[in-house]
Amino acid sequence: MQQQSEIHAKVLAAQGFKAAPFHAGLKTEVKQRTQDDFLSGKVDIVFATIAFGMGINKPDIRNVVHWDLSNTVEEYSQQIGRAGRDGKPSKCMFYLAPSAFYLREVFARGDLPSRSSLAGLVFDIFKEALGVPVGGVFKTNHYRQQKDFDIRPSPLSIIYATLELHFGFIRATTSEYSTYKFEAMPSYFGIIKKHKSLVIDAIYKNAKKKLKWYDLDVNEAASYKNTGLTRGDIVAKLNQLDQQGHIRLKASGLMNRYIVQKAFPRTHEDKEKVVDKLYKDLTDREKDALQRWKEVTSLITGSKCFALSLAQHFGMGLPKDKEKCGHCSFCLTGKPIQPPKLTVTPTMASSIQKVLEATNARDDPRFLARVAYGIRSPG
């Protein structure tokens, strides 16, 4: 969706529209500028993902166009609620490709990892924390775990949150980068000579030049000559030097850090019980996501006034107990929207063989089904 946001905004801009993209992958200052330009009228169209702020209060929004289905009826209601806040007529439209009616199911089913993947992740987490006492901190790399265990970012976050909130094993704390590099600007060396401080000296003496860039182990720099410096002191100074233009700083290798709240299970049986509980929770979430998707589809394709269906979803009705709003697609045409028919390709031995040739997995039916249906995975 982020890529779509940029592509379609460029297409509209090329046709003379004042359009801009908005998604979570943009820098904060870019998103703020786009939001400000939209509110002030410098930008007429924002092609946005759900990252666009719910607090947007522009009274004269005349059109809300959905390029894709909302995840839930509640989400859809909030999105169309931004239109016509000045009391004047506004239009809320769907512009959907046939695949839109089925993509949400693909997303929901792709978020549930197989039990074997989940077990691999849980055992890996316990291994990372092996030997760490209660109150101690261990580190993990979420990106590595996504790739190693074929688990998407969203369910991975949910798994860690469940280990924290339900089981009480861990508590998330401040993450940190494992690698810092910087390019020295001409003024950097003047700062080194001019400012004789422990933290500047520690950075200068521990930075190792490799061609254009310097590598710095911030933990090593903090322990330099036992001066009492902390990792935070080194990182804060690096950021300051970067902001002042003395260096160009790059940080990478984000490590997530967790405090051990209580002892982890020791036996294989007890660890399996944790996996079983997590898998049930994730399965229930998948069922809930599919049900919410069906509610959105039913709202759009139902044989009833669209506005009435939306109101009844929230236990209400239309003003003055009306049965029709008089201006939705159903009221105007008397016909429900027909979703495209899903073409099902018959399962053949040859197609199954292609899936088996693409992967060596034989004990993970859910993974094999995802490969067969083209559901993308992190790994």
Q: CA-to-CA distance for 62 and 80, rounded, in angstroms?
A: 10
Is residue 304 situated within a structural domain?
Answer: no
Rounded to the nearest 10°, the torsion over CA 298, 304, 305, 309 is -50
Is residue 281 situated within a structural domain?
Answer: no
Q: CA-to-CA distance for 368 and 377, rounded, in angstroms?
A: 12
Q: CA-to-CA distance for 12 and 14, rounded, in angstroms?
A: 5
Q: Is the pLDDT of residue 52 over 90?
A: no
- Average pLDDT rounded to a whole number, residues 259-265: 95
Q: CA-to-CA distance for 85 and 93, rounded, in angstroms?
A: 17
The first and second tokens of residue 379, run together, are 């790994």
Is residue 100 situated within a structural domain?
Answer: no
Domain enclosing residue 253, as ranges: 176-258
Q: pLDDT class for 379, splitting at 50, 70, 90?
A: low
Is residue 204 situated within a structural domain?
Answer: yes
Q: Is the pLDDT of residue 173 over 90?
A: yes
Residue keyed to tokens 């019980």: 273
Q: What pLDDT, in 10s, does the model give residues 88-107? A: 999 999 887 777 777 777 88
Choose between 286 and 98: higher pLDDT. 286
Is residue 50 situated within a structural domain?
Answer: no
Count of domains forming the chain: 1
First CA to last CA distance, the chain? 20
Lowest mean pLDDT among 1-5, 89-93, 269-273: 1-5
- Average pLDDT rounded to a whole number, residues 120-131: 95
Q: Is the pLDDT of residue 157 over 90?
A: yes
Rounded to the nearest 10°, the torsion over CA 275, 280, 285, 286 is 100
Q: CA-to-CA distance for 116 and 107, rounded, in angstroms?
A: 20
Q: What pLDDT, in 10s, does the model give residues 195-251? A: 778 999 999 999 999 889 999 999 889 888 887 899 999 999 999 999 999 999 999
pLDDT computed for residue 104 by the predictor: 77
Is residue 72 situated within a structural domain?
Answer: no
Which candidate, 91, 51, 44, 274, places its Cα nearest to that of 168? 274
**What contacts 24+ positions apart, CB below 8 Å, involve 226-232?**
227/198, 227/202, 229/198, 229/199, 229/202, 231/176
pLDDT computed for residue 55 by the predictor: 63
Kindly report the number of other CB atoms within 10 A of residue 302's CB atom. Answer: 14
CA angle 9, 13, 16 (to 5 degrees): 150
Give Cα 203 to chain centroid, integer Å. Answer: 35
Q: What pLDDT, in 10s, does the model give residues 319-354? A: 999 999 999 999 999 999 887 777 777 778 887 888
- Average pLDDT rounded to a whole number, residues 355-369: 76
- Average pLDDT rounded to a whole number, residues 351-358: 80
pLDDT computed for residue 214 by the predictor: 95
Query: What is the secondary structure of 83-121 as a DSSP string?
Result: TTTTSS--EEEE---TTHHHHHHHHHHHHS--HHHHHHH
Q: Is the pLDDT of residue 163 over 60?
A: yes
Q: CA-to-CA distance for 112 and 278, rounded, in angstroms?
A: 11
Q: Is the pLDDT of residue 60 over 60?
A: yes
Q: CA-to-CA distance for 24 and 301, rounded, in angstroms?
A: 31
Is residue 215 situated within a structural domain?
Answer: yes
Is residue 208 situated within a structural domain?
Answer: yes
Q: CA-to-CA distance for 202 and 219, rounded, in angstroms?
A: 11
pLDDT computed for residue 338 by the predictor: 84
- Average pLDDT rounded to a whole number, residues 32-61: 86
Q: pLDDT class for 53, splitting at 50, 70, 90?
A: low
Please, what is the average pLDDT of the chain? 89
- Phi/psi at 91 (nearest 5 deg)? -115, 140
- Average pLDDT rounded to a whole number, residues 165-169: 96
Question: Considering the entire predicted model, what is its pTM?
Answer: 0.75
Q: CA-to-CA distance for 344 and 339, rounded, in angstroms?
A: 15
